[in-house]
Copies of this chain bind each other. A is one copy, B any other.
């Protein structure tokens, strides 16, 4: 049984919604247990992270970067960094914002830079945009064309109504990829 934590911050519930879909996708791989860990009011449960084989990081993109709340989590992790206690865990990341690009790549690069400081191994998202094969954007996985991690676009609606079906499928698909890499001892 391998353990995965999905650590995320969510301002209005959209990133939380996607975090759950990613988690659901991860559990579709065999022998994997997933924990959702929300960054917020309660103090962080560092032990869950320490006991995980993989940590997936999720944040909304605010002003072209992770949210301040998520950054506070990143800064507090410097204790783990000093002892490199997360080294060789698998890492992945996702981000949510209101426009198709919206500088979300900068957020994903912030997450890779961070995870690589921790000595983690980074797995991205490698489903080619299904729009290339003619699928309608609304229904296509990875329609935005993001590889460093998962990008999702949210409208102003509440989380249940804010996403294209294809973006939700992408979240499940991305989770499945993480789970598969972890369960197969790839590398």
Contact = CB atoms under 8 A, between A and B. Distances in A.
Contact of A113 (B125, B132, B148, B151): B148
Contacts of A185: 185, 187
A106 interface: yes
A88 B122 CA distance: 11
A182 to B, nearest CB: 7
A100 B142 CA distance: 10
Interface in A52-66: 62-66
Contact of A84 (B64, B126, B187): B126
A65 B114 contact: yes
A171 B144 CA distance: 20
